[in-house]
Structure 1
Amino acid sequence: MRRKVLYLIKANEDFYDLIRSVMPEDRYELLTLQDGSAEERRSLLAQAELVIVGGARMSGEDVDAAVNLRLVLHQGVGYHDTVATKNLMERQIRLAVTPQGTSEGVAEHTIMMMLAVGRRLAFCDSELRKGNWHSNTFRSTARQLFGSTVGIVGFGRIGKQVAKRLIGFNAKTIYTDIIEIEKDIEEELQASRVTLEVLLKESDFVTLHVPLTDATHHMIDKEALDMMKPGATLINCARGPVVSELALIDAMKNRRLGGAGLDVFETEPPPNPNPFADFENVVLTPHHAPGTRDTMMIKFREIFANADRFFSGDRMENEISLI
């Protein structure tokens, strides 16, 4: 009998077909959200032994509705704000994350954001499509990545991949992290550890790569933004609430910052009209930094490999301890 797997994010059929293309169909049956209603969600949760989660939160009510649930697999790594871990722990339901592909995908997106904000790419592209020519408009304010100082806040898997890619730009890379990084890794990635205050004051680009926790909520607030180098660029491909959006909007209006690249927002989807939409030096993307076909194929192969390990009684990879 095939085990029922629920993908707990409403997507299109092309994406569901991508999942099925790597899913062992002799062992698993994929359940998918079609209308995304609460009733449909509860009905499918009640059938599933395995739930795959991502950016959309799996709440305590979801866990309670999943009466046959044995395993939750996160397609990324940011489970802190997307999974009701207390409810899983109470029912002894196991949880694992899937870092494969995330680090590389988010790192590429981060570099793209730095380049796109620095060159005002979104605005220039939009304007040119309207017939407006801005060949000389930003020559006094556009910034390049080459030779700049980049500060990485959070030097885990993703932060390290960003640093690796910065080497080719001849950038000076500094970072801050709560964990001490081995010297040989620092040397390999040509990165130096500093305090958050020093990082904010010295960086031309500040990029965030931390999980959302009580400690990181609004880590970048008015005080932090005021510390940043005038004209610096802020990139957030972590979690929206790591940044106080009200403080960031104020900093942008006051032209203290040179720009911002945002893949994540305090409320997702963000309100319409988006409060950042009118800034010509802001680039916005819909929380899809690791969301390429290549990354998704890697992830779902590993997700089903981990599911096989679990149901065969073997040790899973990247399991999260809920004790």
Structure 2
Amino acid sequence: MFKPRHTIVVTQRFFDSKSVRFLQSQGCDVVVAPLAQGQADGDLSERQLIDLLHDADGWIVGHAHVTSSLLNALPRLQVIARRGVGYERVDTAAVEAAGKVATIAIGGNDASVADHAVALMLAVCRQLKHCQLGLSANDWTIPLGGDLYRKTVGVVGLGRIGRGVLQRLSGFEIKPLICTPDPGSAHVDGISRNCFVDLETLLEESDFITLHAPLNPHTHGLIDRHALKRMKPSAVLINTARGGLVRDADLLWALREKQLAGAGLDVFESESDPALSIVTEQLIQLPNVIVTPHVGASTVEGLNRTNLIAAQCAVAVLEGRSPPGDCVIADGRRSTGSKENP
């Protein structure tokens, strides 16, 4: 039977050849947008996106805002497949209203982000920034760091990444404390039910706190000045989830006032609010803060996995099928009356 060709436009860098070949094998023409060095699709204007996507049946997207006005300008577009799992920049109601489908790449980068969270814990407590800067200045003074071994680690959010962090930390013989919205359904091998606590208890008792919650109206600003005051002065905060979970200006205050010993940050509020860039710049300069530029998911292996999952999602939708797993975040086909193929 004749199978129509579809055009998939990719607006992300580091889209690997294996994923391109998969799309081509499924009858898709692949167009990878020519982004400049250091540029992301979130930096493109709506007009630029429309120019890139006007002939697209499917779109593999990174951090661009998916809005109602953009979707209305792209009548041919059927599926928006995000290479990643966060989707606060996708207007899911607009996707459904436009009769389109939006997906995320569930399971692709969990291991990479979990690795990065543990790396930040170790980098902060062993004062690796201080060591690097000292040696760069030919200063061999030895700073006294701390151990992760047998410390109390609070995990806020027990999804796939939170579970991965706990699995990795088991070798450090930590005492885990877990705060999650539905502790009754949560399960991690070897973790006692007594480890599930409320946020206040977790803040007060943890030596390290690592955030793995989604960003939504309930979690926005979860770690503010009030929360930071409840933490131990010797505690370390790790955020590899979303910048909006932490009030960065409050964190800056806590670190300067020694209300907190240190922080490891891969995400910042200024990513979505440029007015807070000055706060980010000040955090970066602090000696007890380790920062990375939102790279937790950006390993070769992690990106290749999420590329392929996004590609599989796009093909499934274009063929009228359901994407794998729990990847669908909006499906306007139901509201417009179209049916899936069996």
Q: Quick check: TM above 0.5?
A: yes
Residue by residue over 1:103-150, the C-alpha shift from the partner in whole angstroms, topping out at 9 and shown as x without a partner, is 111100000000001111123213312322231xx31xx221110000
Distance 1:322 1:310 in 2: 10
Indicate conservation of the 8 Å contact 1:54/1:82, yes or no: no
Amino acid at match of 1:146: Y
1:5-16 matches, cutoff 5 A: 5-9=8-12, 11=13, 15-16=14-15
Aligned counterpart for 1:263 among listed residues 261, 266, 282: 266
Distance 1:210 1:275 in 2: 25
Amino acid at match of 1:72: I
Aligned counterpart for 1:297 among listed residues 285, 297, 304: 304
Amino acid at match of 2:23: P
Distance 1:175 1:234 in 2: 15
1:165-176 matches, cutoff 5 A: 165-176=168-179
Aligned counterpart for 1:147 among listed residues 147, 150, 156: 150
Indicate conservation of the 8 Å contact 2:81/2:311, yes or no: no
Amino acid at match of 1:237: T
Give me the CA root mean square deviation.
2.2
Indicate conservation of the 8 Å contact 1:149/1:204, yes or no: yes
Residue 246 (structure 2) aligns with: 243
Residue 25 (structure 1) aligns with: 24
Structure 2 unaligned runs (5+)? 37-42, 333-342
Amino acid at match of 2:35: Q
Indicate conservation of the 8 Å contact 2:72/2:98, yes or no: no
1:47 maps onto 2:55 in alignment = yes
Counting matched residue pairs gives 313
Aligned counterpart for 1:61 among listed residues 46, 64, 69: 69
Structure 1 unaligned runs (5+)? none
Residue 328 (structure 2) aligns with: 319
Cα deviation, residue 34, structure 1: 3.2
Distance 2:137 2:17 in 1: 35
Cα deviation, residue 37, structure 1: 4.9
Amino acid at match of 1:25: Q
Cα deviation, residue 42, structure 1: 1.8
Indicate conservation of the 8 Å contact 1:151/1:206, yes or no: yes
Indicate conservation of the 8 Å contact 2:205/2:232, yes or no: yes
Residue by residue over 1:21-55, the C-alpha shift from the partner in whole angstroms, topping out at 9 and shown as x without a partner, is 55432422123143565343221122211112223
1:229 maps onto 2:232 in alignment = yes
Aligned counterpart for 2:136 among listed residues 104, 107, 129: 129
Distance 2:68 2:18 in 1: 26
Aligned counterpart for 1:99 among listed residues 102, 106, 130: 106
Residue by residue over 1:30-87, the C-alpha shift from the partner in whole angstroms, topping out at 9 and shown as x without a partner, is 23143565343221122211112223432333323322110111111111x1212121
Aligned counterpart for 2:83 among listed residues 75, 86, 100: 75
Indicate conservation of the 8 Å contact 2:154/2:177, yes or no: yes
Residue 202 (structure 2) aligns with: 199
Distance 2:21 2:173 in 1: 39
Amino acid at match of 2:132: D
Q: Secondary structure at the match of 2:264?
A: strand
State TM-score, norm by structure 2: 0.84
Residue 190 (structure 2) aligns with: 188
Greater relative CO (CA pairs within 8 A, separation 6+):
2
1:159-170 matches, cutoff 5 A: 159-170=162-173
Distance 1:301 1:166 in 2: 29
Residue 295 (structure 2) aligns with: 288
Indicate conservation of the 8 Å contact 2:150/2:172, yes or no: yes
Deviates more, 1:70-79 or 1:33-42: 33-42
Residue 93 (structure 2) aligns with: 86
Q: Secondary structure at the match of 1:230?
A: coil
Distance 1:190 1:169 in 2: 17
Distance 1:121 1:18 in 2: 36
Cα deviation, residue 236, structure 1: 0.5
Distance 1:204 1:271, change over 3 A: same
Indicate conservation of the 8 Å contact 1:23/1:300, yes or no: no
Deviates more, 1:103-112 or 1:30-39: 30-39
Distance 1:168 1:98 in 2: 29
Q: Secondary structure at the match of 1:116?
A: helix
Residue 177 (structure 1) aligns with: 180
Distance 2:213 2:169 in 1: 18
Residue by residue over 1:224-279, the C-alpha shift from the partner in whole angstroms, topping out at 9 and shown as x without a partner, is 00011121000011110110011000000001111001100111277367111221
Distance 1:56 1:189 in 2: 38
Distance 2:137 2:6 in 1: 52
Q: Secondary structure at the match of 2:23?
A: coil
Percent of residue pairs identical: 32
Indicate conservation of the 8 Å contact 1:57/1:82, yes or no: yes
